């Protein structure tokens, strides 16, 4: 109940009049729910375009993250090459590097590439490993698979790519869903990246558009409108989690289980 109360509070405020949202003492539920708040808030800004932009950026990011992280994780788990363990430690060490330390170099790189005010800075990096956490989850999962599977496939004439594509990847459904879910949440709710790299309103993501609406409401009692647009952002992750929670937990648990070297 403690964790669900903020969601209930958000829903109730989205159905109130402006006067009810600032009433003292606070009102838990409106006397007459105002469902008209939803179309009014949706039409207060081009949220349809913001939603389309967020869907594009998020879907591309999810594909890039899961695909590249699976390849990197398989390489660290199943292939033998000089410096493998040291390279993996360096990958994990990037988790200690704050985003603000790399922001200016990244901005300069994307500026020189002519990528500013495009979706490229928000999507292309996902195809280069997908992040240390994603690589770690895949690497840990692939190390739990018996080596006998690789040996049997090699005897049958399979190469490394075929072992990855037809054996390792189909068995990694839980961790695939876990990484894809984490990538979705990170991209869907990302505000910092779009604020830095996107300027034109027609390219704004949903989170960026909602932030602009919140700023425009500062100083005015429009809490009901703010609650509506906030619900627009959090409903998709809630729906997604309802469907994938079992796979999400299984993927994280199996990625942390015993290793086979």
Residue 135 within a domain: yes
Tokens (6 digits) for 40: 């009014």
CATH number for 74: 1.10.3720.10
Check the CA dihedral 120-121-123-128 and report its sign. positive
Residue 72 within a domain: yes
Give the separation between CA 259 and CA 210, rounded to whole angstroms: 44
Residue 260 within a domain: no
Chain-centre distance for alpha carbon 76: 23
Helix, strand, or coil (residue 8): helix
Residue 226 within a domain: yes
Q: Per residue of the chain (261 residues), give pLDDT as tens.
A: 888 898 898 999 899 988 888 888 888 899 899 999 899 888 888 889 999 999 999 999 999 999 999 999 999 999 999 999 999 999 999 989 888 888 899 999 999 999 999 999 999 999 998 899 999 999 999 998 898 988 899 998 999 999 999 999 999 988 999 899 999 999 999 999 999 999 999 999 999 888 877 766 555 557 888 888 888 888 888 888 888 877 777 666 665 554 554
- Domain carrying residue 78: 5-255
Confidence (pLDDT) at 55? 95
- Tokens 């090699």 found at: 154
Confidence (pLDDT) at 113? 95
Helix, strand, or coil (residue 129): coil
Confidence (pLDDT) at 166? 92
Rounded to 5 degrees, φ, ψ at 78 are -115, -15
Confidence (pLDDT) at 218? 55
Residue 185 within a domain: yes
Tokens (6 digits) for 258: 């015993």
Residue 150 within a domain: yes
**Are 128 and 69 a contacting pair, CB within 8 Å?**
no
Residue 261 within a domain: no
Residue 186 within a domain: yes
Among 186, 185, 184, 206, CA closest to 195: 206
* Count of the separate structural domains present in the chain: 1
pTM: predicted TM-score of the whole model, two decimal places: 0.87
- Tokens 């500026």 found at: 111
């Amino acid at each position: 109940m403690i964790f669900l109360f903020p969601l209930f509070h958000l829903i109730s405020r989205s159905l109130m009049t402006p006067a009810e949202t600032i009433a003292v003492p606070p009102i838990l539920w409106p006397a007459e729910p105002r469902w008209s708040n939803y179309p009014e808030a949706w039409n207060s800004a081009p949220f349809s375009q913001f939603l389309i932009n967020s869907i594009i950026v998020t879907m591309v990011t999810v594909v890039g993250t899961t695909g590249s992280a699976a390849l990197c994780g398989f390489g660290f788990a199943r292939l033998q090459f000089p410096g493998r363990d040291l390279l993996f430690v360096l990958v994990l060490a990037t988790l200690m590097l704050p985003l603000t330390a790399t922001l200016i170099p990244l901005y300069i790189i994307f500026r020189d590439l002519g990528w500013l005010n495009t979706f490229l800075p928000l999507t292309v990096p996902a195809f280069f490993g997908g992040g240390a956490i994603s690589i770690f989850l895949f690497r840990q999962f692939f190390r739990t698979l018996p080596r006998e599977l690789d040996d049997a496939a090699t005897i049958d004439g399979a190469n490394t790519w075929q072992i990855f594509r037809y054996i390792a990847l189909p068995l990694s459904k839980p961790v695939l869903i876990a990484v894809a879910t984490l990538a979705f949440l990170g991209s869907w709710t990302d505000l910092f990246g779009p604020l830095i790299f996107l300027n034109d309103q027609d390219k704004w993501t949903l989170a960026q558009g909602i932030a602009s609406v919140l700023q425009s409401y500062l100083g005015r009692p429009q809490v009901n409108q703010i609650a509506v647009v906030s619900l627009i952002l959090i409903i998709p992750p809630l729906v997604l989690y309802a469907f994938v929670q079992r796979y999400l937990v299984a993927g994280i648990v199996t990625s942390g289980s015993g290793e086979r070297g």
